Structure 1
Amino acid sequence: MLALSLGGTAQAHDFWLQPQSWQVAPGKPLPFVVEVGHGSFRQQWGADGGHLLALSDLANGGAVDVRPLFKPGGEVPHLTRTFRREGLHIISLVSTNAASDLPAIRFNDYIKAEGLTPAIDGRTREGKMGTNGRELYSRRAKALVQVGRASRGDNALATRPIGLTLEIVPLRSPYALAADHILPVQILYEGRPLAGALVKLTSLEFDARPLRTIRSDAAGRASFEVPPVGDWLVNVIWTKPIAHPKADYLTTFSSLTFGYSAKRGR
């Protein structure tokens, strides 16, 4: 287990979609909020619709653009969606880029704690560990919601990439885990498996620090034992150097959320 200690701006980058419930009946409105940060830094996202690049509801029947339902200006719930089709639904969100400029000591602590080796190696090699850390960053989030009864295509839908720049792809649906409660995931960056990223599992009911952190293997994979109750977040961060007048790195934050309203069967 790896305990991460991040403060201020870096901590606030943790970002996910939180529905009122993970299981809902067809035709019943379901509110969502967008959450940022963990522990004492946790808050609701205050951005307006201009920071929203995409917001989609994907089910076996296809994807629906639900950006028109987003409430701007930090109003909550940020989204209320009424699902008509039974089965698994994937709500996904993509934000626009924002800029961050941190003092050297804070940026160095952040990239080391998050295992961002492209920034660590690049700053070390170029002798820039004593300079401010400048990045452009954006966020990707997926929430898995079960609407009514499970359908035949749910597992295939859950395990199929949806094309996010940095994406956490479950290799089993979290709602159809075997008796071992093991959830394997694969991390994809720009469509390819990402090795060496720190992948974290966090209970959103006790979210001051991750329950477990695993470095993705050569195939971009990591596996977690997920307790059969509660709200769960898997998240990962990655970066790459860029040539930009206001930033040296382009960083992407990605999350996957799911949960259990009642204990899973064994």
Structure 2
Amino acid sequence: MSKNLTMIVRITCAVWMVFPAGTVQAHELFLQPQSYQLAVGGPLVAEVRVGEGFDGGRSIYNPDKFRRFELAAEDTLQPVPGRLGDLPSVNIETQSEGLHILIHESTDQKLRYTKFAKFEKFARHKDLTQAIAAHEERGLPKDDFTEAYSRYAKSLIAVGNGAGQDRAFGLETEIVALANPYTDDLWGEMAVQVFYRGEPRVDAQVEMFERMGKEVTITWHRTDENGHAYLPVQPGGEYMLDAVVIREPNAALAKDLGAVWETLWANLTFSVPDAP
């Protein structure tokens, strides 16, 4: 693995200094547990949040907004229970120890662009620049057009001993942790693999948000020929990763939402425990 694929640029400052309000059109959906390490029998409480800079508003439990909302524990995969309007969105009494993985797949939503410049800024931010030229090649309008989007979020939570391993769950796109941050000696580096339609994504951008206290650091990384990215992490950090795919929508999505583009957002959250 060539380390020159790992970190491109690093910015360290408060979130409001990194991205002033209104300058970035990228909004992640992410899962944020109240605690990433729990005792067996304790409640697993988590929020579905939508925002930017590793900060976002809480979303209610709403089955109309997701296709999948599940908890993987040991060899089981069960729906996250809830009632419409529940806040927090996840509140489950844990029954076993080991690595627990929350999985959330949203329904399709749409976003209207009134100016091409906003789409271009988003595409450059998420390293989707091929869409800028393709937009013109396809003869698409520049002043008023629609993008469809869907979110594929996961979160790693340790219950009891936290033993176990993340894996692919058949999402259209997803990020899989290749190490267990709660049990493995990471030596300052977390390995992940990015997938799209079950295949590794090669030379894809992974954006990483690291929260230490109230400060968030944002770094950008690339996957190698196996879809692997190697990310610098440290004890006491909370992490969010995202990787975005852009494609032409299928005929049904184009008709139903009027979309000319479709984006798919993979997201993963986890923490690295403090050193003993």
TM-score range, shorter chain: 0.7 to 0.9
Query: Is 1:123 aligned to 2:129, yes or no?
Result: no
Query: How far does the alpha carbon of each residue in 1:62-92 deviate from its partner, in whole angstroms, 9 at most, with x for none?
Result: 11111x32x433x421110111111101011
Residue 124 of structure 1, CA deviation: 4.0
In structure 1, distance between residues paired with 2:140 and 2:213? 37
In structure 1, distance between residues paired with 2:211 and 2:33? 12
Structure 2, unaligned runs of 5 or more: 1-8, 12-17
Superposition pairs for residues 36-185 of structure 1, below 5 Å? 36-39=50-53, 42-45=56-59, 48-66=62-80, 68-69=81-82, 71-73=83-85, 75-103=86-114, 104-126=116-138, 128=140, 130-151=142-163, 154=164, 157-158=165-166, 160-178=167-185, 180-185=187-192
Query: How far does the alpha carbon of each residue in 1:97-144 deviate from its partner, in whole angstroms, 9 at most, with x for none?
Result: 001111211111111111114422411433548343421101111111
Partner of 2:266: 254
In structure 2, distance between residues paired with 1:10 and 1:202? 16
Contact conserved, 1:40 with 1:208, CA < 8 A, in 2? no
Aligned residues: 255
Mark the CA change 1:176 to 1:25 in structure 2 (over 3 Å): closer, same or farther.
closer
SS at match of 1:123: helix
Contact conserved, 1:15 with 1:255, CA < 8 A, in 2? yes
Segment drifting more, 85-94 vs 115-124: 115-124
Partner of 1:33: 47
Residue 10 of structure 1, CA deviation: 2.6
Partner of 1:241: 248
Residue 207 of structure 1, CA deviation: 7.9
Equivalent in 3, 7, 10 of residue 25 of structure 2: 10
In structure 1, distance between residues paired with 2:55 and 2:141? 26
Taking structure 2 as the reference length, the TM-score comes to 0.83
Contact conserved, 2:60 with 2:87, CA < 8 A, in 1? no
Mark the CA change 1:2 to 1:118 in structure 2 (over 3 Å): closer, same or farther.
farther
Contact conserved, 2:205 with 2:220, CA < 8 A, in 1? yes
Structure 1, unaligned runs of 5 or more: none
SS at match of 2:123: helix
SS at match of 2:40: coil
Segment drifting more, 55-64 vs 126-135: 126-135
Contact conserved, 2:109 with 2:150, CA < 8 A, in 1? yes
In structure 2, distance between residues paired with 1:236 and 1:207? 24
The percentage of counterpart residues that share the same residue type is 28
Contact conserved, 1:118 with 1:241, CA < 8 A, in 2? no
In structure 2, distance between residues paired with 1:86 and 1:128? 52
Contact conserved, 2:247 with 2:263, CA < 8 A, in 1? yes
SS at match of 1:146: strand
Residue 30 of structure 1, CA deviation: 2.3
